[in-house]
Amino acid sequence: MKKGDQIAYVPDQLKHTQRKDWLCTSGIEFGFIYSIIENRAAAFCRYWNPYNINVLRTLANSEITSRRDLFLYVSVPQEQVDATIDIIDKEDA
């Protein structure tokens, strides 16, 4: 996994859920990797608002997430992810 990869966060209690049902399952969150922690099994992720997938749920910072709970999953056009990363990078500069 790398920066910009789209992901689904699937907690342990929902790992039995069929992949085709993820979009309509409460508790599964969608977003993208913002950075990877190489020496730990974790990534900093940004998640989309579950009520409006066009905006981030958290604006101020990324959330650390165990990589064992992350699965590659495309939920929005990649251009949306790339544009959002560009905005975040410019704000952090």
Q: What is the pLDDT of residues 26-45, one digit of tens each?
A: 899 999 999 998 877 899 99
pTM (2 decimals)?
0.91
pLDDT digits (tens, 9 = 90+) for 59-88: 788 999 999 999 999 999 999 999 999 999
At 78 the pLDDT is 98
User: Is residue 92 predicted with pLDDT exceeding 90?
Assistant: no
The beta strand positions in the chain, using DSSP E, are: 6-9, 29-37, 42-49, 52-56, 63-66, 70-72
pLDDT reported for residue 15: 87
- The radius of gyration computed from the CA coordinates of the chain, to the nearest angstrom, equals 13
Name the residue ranges covered by the structural domains of the chain.
6-92
